[in-house]
Amino acid sequence: MRRSAPLKMSDKQREQLKEEIKAFYLDVRGDAIGIIEQEQLLSLFMERLAPIVYNKALDDAQYWYQKQLENMESDFFSLYRDF
């Protein structure tokens, strides 16, 4: 199986996600989480979750594309005329 390149995100996106992890952890667990833990959790999510979400997005795009092709085929055959 071919490994894909790691997902790229801007520094701003990365910082925002770490802040969301920090806020979530505080809300759910009632504990503060440090910068290192934020980075570790984000890295874990990106490594493990991102490929699953990416593949799901591809599956969804393929499903949509197949439906469009079915519609196009139906539209094409509706152009035929009986003589």
**3, part of any domain:** no
Same domain, 81 and 55: yes
SS3 38: helix
Same domain, 64 and 82: yes
- The pTM of this model reads 0.66
Which pLDDT band, with edges at 50, 70 and 90, does 10 fall under? very high
**4, part of any domain:** no
Same domain, 38 and 61: no
Q: What is the pLDDT of residues 36-83, one digit of tens each?
A: 999 999 999 999 999 999 999 999 999 999 999 888 888 888 888 877
pLDDT for 3 equals 60
Alpha-carbon distance of 76 to 71, in angstroms, equals 8
Q: What angle do CA 17, 6, 38 make, to 5 degrees?
A: 30
